[in-house]
Structure 1
Amino acid sequence: MLKTWKKAISLVLVFALSMMVCVPAFAETSSKKSSANKEKRDFDGTLILDKYPVMPGEIEKKAFAKVYQDYQEGNASQADIEKKLKSFYIAVGDTENARKVSGLSLFPAIRKELTASADKYISDLYQISQEKNYYCGPATAEAILEVFDVDMTQSELASNDNLQTEKFQSTPWYADSVNQYVMKNVLNKYADTSWYEPESAPSSSDLKSEIRTDVDSGHGIAANFNFKKGEKRPKGYISGNLGHWVAIDGYLNNGDTIHWAEPIYGASSVKWSDNIKSPYLTASASDFSEYVQRRGIIW
């Protein structure tokens, strides 16, 4: 009987001690969860904010694209374009290119004979299939960077030092306050340029001028789709929530139609890749603007 009581007391003490150890650990875990819950992320890993921050140079580049379109339509001079382009480079701290703007040597597409065509493509931007079902971002970056003779693997681009694709099992539009727009960072870093800027939720008219500006200057554009269940999307895409990156390589009808390289085409890692019948797809500028309204383009 005495042994039984001793055993019971021993068990009570063990339980009490265990609770003394577990309570602080539980409190710490709860605190961590509470802190993490303040950081809300969408299903594609993007940090959810009421409004995504405007980056240095973003406004100036939009102004440059608008003047470039005016130039194409005969409503602006080459001097007007040079002024806006120089303002952009100054805004992003690229003093070297700001000094080179005169004569538009950095923007050879601004030539009267080239503006006559309504349809334009970046001839050396090729479609690349994504190697994993969540590698649309790395495949998009790879296709754009190849134009600059940059040879990187999708797994390298997916690393936490680059697109953070492996971290989130998706490539976020906006990662956090430190890394911000990871696609912008990667394209500027490896193309050795200061050209790329984010444009959140572009209107169809802004989209047209921005895509024409980039395609004419030989810069591929990374576009980030975000679809909720039931929303309009390109033909062949599955229904339900879907985040996706594509590389814009051209336009038709003076920008009324957007042309892009589709990384899902030929991607054996994506169960529904057979739905996509062509490596390149098109959509009207108005439809495309809807596709990127929750995210945007890196141009």
Structure 2
Amino acid sequence: MRTSRPGRTGVTAGVLGLALASVAVLGAPAAQAAEGPRGGVTGNYTGADVTGPGAEPLTAQAKEKIALTEAWYAAVEGHGDLAAVQRRETAYLKKYKITDHRTVQARSGGFAAMAAPTSRTLRLTHYGQAKNFYCGPATGAMMIKMKDGAIRSKYNRNAFSQANLANSAHMNTQNAGRTDWSSKRFVTGVNRWRGEPYYVQVPKPTATQTVKALRHTLGGNGMAVAADTVEFANGRHYNGHPVNKTIGHWITAYGYTNSGATSKWADPSTTVWSSVNKTFSYNTGNFARYFLQSNGIAY
């Protein structure tokens, strides 16, 4: 009996089969990488990360600002001396060379009436992320635009853009592939752009601290508040973010109602996920408990 030898067609089919098998094997990690966080950094789907259960020490300025907020809040709630708090706030602003952001009415004596309105909403211009890892620069751009307009950087005269907020002189997002919490480059970038060290970073704020920060900064001074949130896979998520992912993400609060009990947030990830709305509202205490206990806020 003659043994048949495989012809050219058989050889070609065998090689093609091996090639397809190789493609399948090599393709699997690539597909997983596309679905995985950028650079393998936990939480980095939109340009932030997950710091974890630890928290970095507060800076001296952050400690002073938290104490000032506590005194301010007590005073406007009728449990402290408003005039004394005004003097204390003026001294703080002078020490750190910060412009007095209080309203004209507050500076001229209507402090009790104007310092802590029960609701306030700033005029928002929403920006989606120019790149899928630009949640920090997009959030910073919204915050700067709300208060100062499309100004040039007071640090180096860069034109107003997410790309320039992402550069090494500001947030360093382009080089790092994210705006990570522990580097404090978000507040560095916004502060440099605005030309004053207004914003401080506060890790793991309590629900009450978050409400007070909104009332003081947004309500009293007309300045937006930033949050570096964390949503854990298959746990609570907000604003249509995919529930199967652990996500670190920068957003900004542009308003509140009900004396801060409900907060209004602007989300730049509209250019990353089609399920996301430009803005959403959330119970502030729950938002702090669910999403701010790994990273924190800048106010």
TM-score over 0.5 (shorter chain) = yes
Please tell me the residue identity of whatever aligns with 1:135.
Answer: Y
Specify whether residues 165 and 250 from structure 1 end up closer, same or farther in structure 2 by C-alpha distance, changes over 3 A only. same
Is 1:193 the counterpart of 2:196? The answer is: yes
Cα RMSD (Å) of the superposition?
2.4
Specify whether residues 162 and 117 from structure 1 end up closer, same or farther in structure 2 by C-alpha distance, changes over 3 A only. closer
Shift of 1:168: 2.9
Check conservation: 2:116, 2:216, Cα contact below 8 A: no
- Structure 2 gaps of 5+ residues are 1-39, 153-159
What does 1:119-268 align with in structure 2 at a 5 Å threshold? 119-123=119-123, 125-146=124-145, 147-149=147-149, 150-151=151-152, 152-175=160-183, 181-216=184-219, 217-239=221-243, 240-265=245-270, 267=271
Is 1:76 the counterpart of 2:84? The answer is: no
Specify whether residues 134 and 116 from structure 1 end up closer, same or farther in structure 2 by C-alpha distance, changes over 3 A only. closer
% identical equivalent positions:
21
**Partners of 2:50 and 2:276 in 1: CA distance:** 29
Q: Deviations over 1:75-113 (max 9, x none)?
A: 2222231243245347xx42x55xx9xxxx542274333
Please tell me the residue identity of whatever aligns with 1:214.
Answer: T
Specify whether residues 58 and 260 from structure 1 end up closer, same or farther in structure 2 by C-alpha distance, changes over 3 A only. same
Check conservation: 2:172, 2:179, Cα contact below 8 A: yes
Show the counterpart of 2:294.
Answer: 294
Aligned residue pair count: 239
SS in 2 for 1:264: helix
User: What is the TM-score with the length of structure 1 in the denominator?
Assistant: 0.72
Show the counterpart of 2:279.
Answer: 280
**Partners of 1:61 and 1:209 in 2: CA distance:** 11
User: What is the TM-score with the length of structure 2 in the denominator?
Assistant: 0.72
Point out which structure has higher relative CO (alpha carbons under 8 A, 6+ apart). 2
**Partners of 2:74 and 2:57 in 1: CA distance:** 27
**Partners of 2:41 and 2:63 in 1: CA distance:** 26
Which stretch shifts more, 279-288 or 202-211? Answer: 279-288
**Partners of 1:165 and 1:76 in 2: CA distance:** 42
**Partners of 1:254 and 1:219 in 2: CA distance:** 16
Shift of 1:213: 0.8
